[in-house]
Amino acid sequence: MQKAEKKQVKALIDLINRETGPQAALLRGELARIMQENPSVLHDIIEKDFHSAVPASLVHAMEEACWDSLQKNVHLFAQKINPNLEEGLAIVTRFVNPAVALEEISQDLDTLARSLRPLLLNCNGTAEVLDIMSRFFFRVQGFTILPSTKDIKEVSFGRFLEKKSGSALCLSCLYALCAERFGLDGGVVDLAGRLLAVIFPTDGSEPVFVDPLAQGKQLLLQDCKEYIDSRNLQWSENFITPLSSHALMRRFLGNMIFILNKLRDERRLAYLRRYMDILNNSYQ
Q: What is the pLDDT of residues 245-269, one digit of tens each?
A: 999 999 999 999 999 999 999 999 9
Same domain, 230 and 113: yes
Low-confidence ranges of the chain (pLDDT < 70): 1-6, 9-10, 13-14, 16-21, 24-25, 28, 31-32, 34-55, 57-58, 283-284
Structural domain containing residue 126: 85-245
pLDDT of residue 1: 46
Same domain, 116 and 187: yes
CB 232 within 8 A of CB 239: no
* β-pair partners for 75: none
Same domain, 173 and 208: yes
Same domain, 140 and 65: no
Look at residue 252 and tell me if it is in a domain.
no
Point out the domain boundary residue: 54, 79, 104. Answer: 79
Same domain, 72 and 111: no
Q: Where are the beta strands (DSSP E) in the chain?
A: 144-145, 165-166, 185-191, 194-200, 208-211, 217-219
Same domain, 101 and 177: yes
Same domain, 185 and 74: no
CB 278 within 8 A of CB 83: no
Same domain, 173 and 35: no
Same domain, 128 and 210: yes
How many domains does the chain divide into?
2
Residue 39, CA atoms < 13 Å, CB-side half-sphere: 22
Same domain, 91 and 61: no
Q: ∠ at Cα 250 (284, 36), nearest 5°?
A: 110
- From the centroid of its chain, how far is CA 157? 3
pLDDT of residue 158: 94
Of 92, 246, 242, whose CA–CA distance to 160 is shortest? 92
pTM for this entry: 0.85
pLDDT of residue 271: 97
What is the rounded CA–CA span in Å between residue 262 and residue 183? Answer: 41
Same domain, 12 and 125: no
Look at residue 146 and tell me if it is in a domain.
yes
pLDDT of residue 212: 96
